[in-house]
Amino acid sequence: MNSLTQVIAAVSTPPGKDGVAIIRMSGEGAFEIADRVFFPISGRKFSECMPRTQIYGNIIEDGERIDDVLATRFPAPHSYTGEDTVEIGCHGGILVTRTVLEALLRAGAVPATAGEFTRRAFIGGRLSLTEAEAISDLLEAKTRDQLRLSGGDARGRLTAKIAEIRASLVSLMSSIYARIDYPDEDLGDFSDGEVRASLYNIKVECEKLLSTYRTGRAISEGIDTVICGKPNAGKSTLYNLLIGEDAAIVTDIPGTTRDVLTSSLPLGRVMLKIADTAGIRDSEDMDAVERIGVEKSRKMIKECELLFAIFDISRPFDEEDRLILEATRSVNVPKIALLNKADLPAVIDESAFTGFDEVIRISAKCGEAEAVQKLSNSVNRLFTDEKIVIGQDAIISSARQHASLSRCLDFVRAAIESLDLGFMQDAASSDVERALGAISELDGRSVSEEIVSDIFSRFCVGK
């Protein structure tokens, strides 16, 4: 990251040929740098023009006109970063965009690093860390629910809920310390019972927010999902159906799929990081390449978070089907048995598929829309809470948020336990203080530089 005393500049729109490109510049001195290369048609200096108003003029360097543009200045603190900010809308050609940016850099700005504009907004108190994470998710959103989860309303509700829990902890801790430090003063009757009741309310709020993580993560980050089955059960047909293209080769020859194919796709409300694996079998006629593929399949089954085990119910149950059942029984994750080729006469009864969370009949080849809908309904039931309203409820969706909130809850529970065991309030005070530290990590008030750097490294340059 550049020094906060430097003016940063970057192209904030995707690279490529387009009608308009936006170049952003931020930092103390941004207006003076703009004055060196941007000349309004009105003849006034840009730094003297009305704020938050688009000004038409030319980018000129060394007497040469580069482009006619619209520029807007946002004086601090009324800008995205909280600093003096300039946004220049130039023509969207690759060369003209780069040339305008280079003119700003030669005039005194420095290139912005990935996520530096949003990072400066966080440092300046314009955004909490959870809001910054949501903006990153918003930029990467691929589904409507992801947009709702990371949109402004959802960001505000999560930030407000975290602030509410933190405020309760601050109030509780200050009351406990006041009673410890000034035992002879009349500071109100804040009894052990009232401390316990306050801690219990905080505990309930933490648990309620933590309960949203499964849904939030499933929608935002996605679920590692594996399709497994014996050769020719219909794995690759299902994979192609879900991703909407013929990515996997489908033939009647056993062992066609040698390597693992992966893709990310939405299924209902949930994002799946799905993998089509080689068929699991144990045969002497397998060559070395297919054997490696089978071992990869077994490994991915053990490491997945959701398993689609597909069986061909138009054929008698055999040793290869038994191998699939054996491989899935040792996996303690949600499992769905897909009884494929339901359009043909079934020779296997559903009672053979015990231990699965869901058993559904599909025809991956003939009943595509119905198969996808059935699978979508099953996945939604397993990974999302229908009571949660995306975009309206406070929801956590990242592992970092879950870890910080879980630590906060652990310390709150420890404080309650201290009081239940008959210890004085000062015994619980250290746990309350630790809980406050954990919740402060959640909104970024006290978080390591390493975590902050990791979060903003996921942004692209110009954001």
Res. 289 pLDDT band, cuts 50 70 90: low
Q: Which CATH number fits domain 218-383: 3.40.50.300, 3.40.30.10, 2.60.40.10, 3.90.950.20?
A: 3.40.50.300
Which amino acid, residue 57?
Answer: G
Q: What stretch of H or E contains 331?
A: none
* pTM, 2 dp: 0.76
Bridge partners of residue 261, in order along the sequence: 276
Reference 160, options 335, 446, 330, 392; nearest CA is 392
Alpha-carbon span 199 to 178, nearest angstrom: 17
Reduce the DSSP state of residue 378 to 3 states and report it.
Answer: helix
Alpha-carbon span 17 to 295, nearest angstrom: 46
Which amino acid, residue 411?
Answer: F
List every span in the chain annotated with CATH 1.20.120.430: 132-212+394-443
Res. 188 pLDDT band, cuts 50 70 90: low
List every span in the chain annotated with CATH 3.30.1360.120: 8-128
- Give 34-47 pLDDT, tens digit per residue: 999 999 999 999 99
Mean pLDDT of the chain: 84
Q: What stretch of H or E contains 224?
A: strand 223-229
Alpha-carbon span 345 to 180, nearest angstrom: 77
CB atoms within 10 A of CB 343: 13
User: What is the chain's Cα-based Rg?
Assistant: 29
Res. 443 pLDDT band, cuts 50 70 90: confident
List every span in the chain annotated with CATH 3.40.50.300: 218-383
Alpha-carbon span 111 to 102, nearest angstrom: 9
Q: Which CATH number fits domain 132-212+394-443: 3.20.20.70, 3.40.47.10, 3.40.50.300, 1.20.120.430?
A: 1.20.120.430
Average pLDDT of the residues in 445-462: 71
- Give 63-97 pLDDT, tens digit per residue: 999 999 999 999 999 999 999 999 999 998 899 99
Alpha-carbon span 266 to 246, nearest angstrom: 17
Please give the structure tokens belonging to residue 371: 């198969």
Res. 254 pLDDT band, cuts 50 70 90: very low
Whether the pLDDT of residue 198 is over 50: the answer is yes
CA torsion 312-318-324-327 (nearest 10°) is 170
Bridge partners of residue 60, in order along the sequence: 65
Burial 85-118 (b: 16+ CB within 10 A, else e): bbbbbbbbeeebbebbbebbbebbbbebbbbbbb
User: Could you tell me the fold of the domain covering 8-128?
Assistant: Gyrase A; domain 2 (3.30.1360)
